[in-house]
A and B are shown apart, each in its own frame.
Chain A
Amino acid sequence: MSSHSHGTQLARIHGSRWLPYMLVLPGVVYLLVFQGIPLLQEMRLSVSNTSLLNPSRFNFIGVANFSRLLRDPNFFNSIQVTAIYVAGCVIGTIGLGLFAALLMDREFTGRSFVRSLIIIPWAAPPVAIALVFRWMLNGQYGIVNRGLEPLGLMPAEGLWLDNPSLALITVLAITIWQLFPFTAVVILASLQSVPKELKEAAQIDGAGLWAQFHAVTWPVIRPTVALLALLMTIWSIRRFELIWLLTQGGPVGSTNTLVIDLYRRGFIINKLGEAAAVGMVGMAVSVLVTIAYFAVANRATRAEKMR
């Protein structure tokens, strides 16, 4: 009797049209509390002239923060720097990651050793990486210049991170060095699902390495690479600690990405309202990128279903 009523109760819950909502409720609550509220607060800040010196004071000033940004050449500079940095990160990490993954996919002795070794940069904390690279790139006693000097390849005055024309590319190189193990390992995992017989069929069909990659490998790993591109874009837009610890956005704003700019405005010159406005712009860009990704991904899935 009791088991019978228990059964019908279960069936009722199971058939209830509220069940799906009940299941997503914890996730929604979490997002609202930890993402939604801060986001609303940031929106509110972005239309105020609140200062870090008195953060609880709210004074509505409309879109003044945004219109000031539009007239601020520094802001446009940081958008440009961000665009270069993000594009460089995506292309660099995916290009290098793909190359490394293809190499590691081949049979060679010590492969599993190399596979675990390559993870180290990704596993290391950005603080440690920033300190190590600043030391290695030090103008006077850094090992990099020691090595390059005899070859005559040392940059002017031996400066890398303090050189306005080299700082961004140096930061980019360090970022790519840290991140490509991640893309490499993810792509390597996806390479495991490339059917071996298909590669052999392509070999017999006369496909060289490039044609094999194009006809067999790429169609399998493409969705993974697309997802990595999205992740790398968003992560690069919001990367802070590595850049801050390497250059603090300098010299002369040459590595001043949106997030660094936000931090400077909010916590160095204390203009929380302006910083929040920069944050809103950054978020808008991230959202646009994400929407674009899902539009492309959906179209690809539909095409997949068609065949």
Chain B
Amino acid sequence: MASVILNGVRKTFGAVNVIPGIDLEIESGEFVALVGPSGCGKSTLLRMIAGLEEVSGGEVWIEGRKVNDVSPKDRNIAMVFQSYALYPQMTVAENMSFNLRLAKKPKAEIRERVAEAARMLDLEALLDRKPGQLSGGQRQRVAMGRAIVRSPKVFLFDEPLSNLDAKLRVAMRAEIKQLHQKVKTTSVYVTHDQIEAMTLADRLVVLNKGHVEQQGSPLDLYNRPANLFVAGFIGSPAMNFLEARAARGDGHLRAQLADGNALELDPALGVADGQEIIIGLRPELINNDAGEAVCGEVIMIEPMGAQTLVYFSYGGKTVTAIVDGEHRVAVGETFRSGIERRRIHVFDRASGMRRDPE
């Protein structure tokens, strides 16, 4: 059964139409990441599910109940905020039990549920401390503890790792994933970090300017981005885009690039002769000696240890490739590489939409 349903949900702030209308179904127990650049409406959408933001139009359903007019506390949700939002004057235990105490649950039950959450999140030694005495990662764990103590139907995460340093972020990402595998509560996770979204979520919903560009499993979106926006957003470093013109003849399909080079494409692609197209090449896939040749003069290199980023000129652009760190490349040399034909993404330039074999 779907746990959260958004039915044509709209949001306007004054005359500004932030979210023109979104339909989304989130299955029970599913971990969904709402991802997109800042200003895409992902946080607003989450806050509308939470009830912190009024819905300008459409319906929000949680667990089979329409909650448009239900206050946040009665929606059976818990939220983890970017700033942790812990009550500074309360101890960790008091922070975690605040909701249960407000709900006037029996003392013994409160103690038990707090103890259980503390055990799960390794917070037992910190229960009597105040938030000011905790590190960023510990505070984040308390914030999650406060959420699970309530055993809500839905967890809402609003960029919960943005305030942590890079190392801690990776560690907390793993903790959130483990936590979800343990409690299996429906989770909606907002982030602008596509890696965070890919690693955590069962399903990604890529938002842009208030509408859904594409949704699907992380690998779906990586392997078959529906349009240029998703192609550019998912993957790091970002996909290389080259403008080209399609040329058909003798049962072949070629992409004629701006610098005179050509790439052989799958002739079954739904592309007409002479059509303006965009070729998408993932940097990490340009390292295959077999396949379509991709060569050009090296402009800059960025060694990162295990791998090296090579920037070379190709197709009238500067193209990024990732090569093994052992591979010696020098600026000014000709970089010779290739890419498998089936790994070349093709988009219609006018509409920005993906073209697949027909």
Interface residues of A (CB under 8 A from B): 195, 197-198, 200-207, 211, 215-216, 219, 307
Evaluate contact between B50 and A205: CB separation under 8 angstroms.
no
Complex: chain A residue closest to B50, CB-CB: A204
Evaluate contact between B72 and A203: CB separation under 8 angstroms.
yes
Complex: chain A residue closest to B80, CB-CB: A201
- Most chain A beta carbons < 10 A, residue from B73, B86, B103: B73
> For the complex, what is the distance from the CA of A90 to the CA of B50, rounded to whole Å?
40
Q: List 7 A-B contacts (CB under 8 A).
A: A200-B52, A204-B52, A204-B79, A205-B98, A206-B73, A206-B102, A307-B129
Evaluate contact between B85 and A206: CB separation under 8 angstroms.
no
Q: A215-B87, A307-B133 are in contact. Are A205 and B81 (CB under 8 A)?
A: no
Evaluate contact between B79 and A201: CB separation under 8 angstroms.
yes
Interface size on B (CB < 8 Å)? 26
Evaluate contact between B73 and A197: CB separation under 8 angstroms.
no
**CB contact list, B66-101 vs A, under 8 A:** 71-73, 77-79, 81-83, 85-90, 98-99
> For the complex, what is the distance from the CA of A207 to the CA of B101, rounded to whole Å?
10
Q: A216-B87, A307-B130, A307-B132 are in contact. Are A205 and B99 (CB under 8 A)?
A: yes
Query: Residues of A contacting B77 with CB < 8 Å?
Result: 204
Query: Residues of A contacting B86 with CB < 8 Å?
Result: 198, 201
Query: Residues of B contacting A200 with CB < 8 Å?
Result: 50, 52, 72, 79, 81, 85
Query: Residues of A contacting B146 with CB < 8 Å?
Result: 201, 205
Evaluate contact between B98 and A197: CB separation under 8 angstroms.
no
Complex: chain A residue closest to B102, CB-CB: A206
CB distance from B144 to the nearest CB of A (A): 13
> For the complex, what is the distance from the CA of A307 to the CA of B88, rounded to whole Å?
9
> For the complex, what is the distance from the CA of A261 to the CA of B273, rounded to whole Å?
103
- Most chain A beta carbons < 10 A, residue from B82, B98, B103: B98
Query: Residues of A contacting B73 with CB < 8 Å?
Result: 203-207
Complex: chain A residue closest to B79, CB-CB: A204
Of the candidates A195, A197, A201, A205, the one whose C-beta lies within 8 Å of that of B102 is: A205
> For the complex, what is the distance from the CA of A110 to the CA of B98, rounded to whole Å?
36
Complex: chain A residue closest to B156, CB-CB: A204
- Most chain B beta carbons < 10 A, residue from A204, A207, A211, A216: A204
> For the complex, what is the distance from the CA of A205 to the CA of B100, rounded to whole Å?
8
Evaluate contact between B98 and A215: CB separation under 8 angstroms.
yes
Evaluate contact between A201 and B85: CB separation under 8 angstroms.
yes
Query: Residues of B contacting A203 with CB < 8 Å?
Result: 52, 71-73
**Mask for B120-135, Cβ within 8 A of A = 1, else 0?**
0000000001101100
> For the complex, what is the distance from the CA of A211 to the CA of B101, rounded to whole Å?
11
Query: Residues of A contacting B71 with CB < 8 Å?
Result: 203
Query: Residues of B contacting A215 with CB < 8 Å?
Result: 87, 90, 98
CB distance from B343 to the nearest CB of A (A): 43
Query: Residues of A contacting B89 with CB < 8 Å?
Result: 219, 307
Evaluate contact between A197 and B85: CB separation under 8 angstroms.
yes
Of the candidates A198, A206, A216, the one whose C-beta lies within 8 Å of that of B99 is: A206
Query: Residues of B contacting A197 with CB < 8 Å?
Result: 81-83, 85
Evaluate contact between B72 and A195: CB separation under 8 angstroms.
no
Complex: chain A residue closest to B53, CB-CB: A200
CB distance from A90 to the nearest CB of B (A): 24
> For the complex, what is the distance from the CA of A200 to the CA of B77, rounded to whole Å?
13
CB distance from A237 to the nearest CB of B (A): 32
> For the complex, what is the distance from the CA of A138 to the CA of B341, rounded to whole Å?
97
Complex: chain A residue closest to B75, CB-CB: A204
> For the complex, what is the distance from the CA of A216 to the CA of B95, rounded to whole Å?
12
> For the complex, what is the distance from the CA of A98 to the CA of B83, rounded to whole Å?
27
Evaluate contact between B103 and A198: CB separation under 8 angstroms.
no
Query: Residues of A contacting B130 with CB < 8 Å?
Result: 307
Query: Residues of A contacting B132 with CB < 8 Å?
Result: 307
Of the candidates A201, A211, A307, the one whose C-beta lies within 8 Å of that of B81 is: A201
> For the complex, what is the distance from the CA of A207 to the CA of B79, rounded to whole Å?
14
Query: Residues of A contacting B87 with CB < 8 Å?
Result: 198, 201-202, 215-216, 219
Of the candidates B72, B88, B90, B103, the one whose C-beta lies within 8 Å of that of A204 is: B72
**CB contact list, B197-252 vs A, under 8 A:** none
> For the complex, what is the distance from the CA of A206 to the CA of B73, rounded to whole Å?
5
Evaluate contact between A204 and B102: CB separation under 8 angstroms.
no
> For the complex, what is the distance from the CA of A161 to the CA of B198, rounded to whole Å?
75
Evaluate contact between A195 and B50: CB separation under 8 angstroms.
no
Evaluate contact between A207 and B52: CB separation under 8 angstroms.
no
Complex: chain B residue closest to A200, CB-CB: B52
CB distance from B321 to the nearest CB of A (A): 42
Complex: chain A residue closest to B88, CB-CB: A219
CB distance from B28 to the nearest CB of A (A): 20
> For the complex, what is the distance from the CA of A224 to the CA of B173, rounded to whole Å?
39
> For the complex, what is the distance from the CA of A195 to the CA of B84, rounded to whole Å?
11
Query: Residues of A contacting B98 with CB < 8 Å?
Result: 202, 205, 207, 215
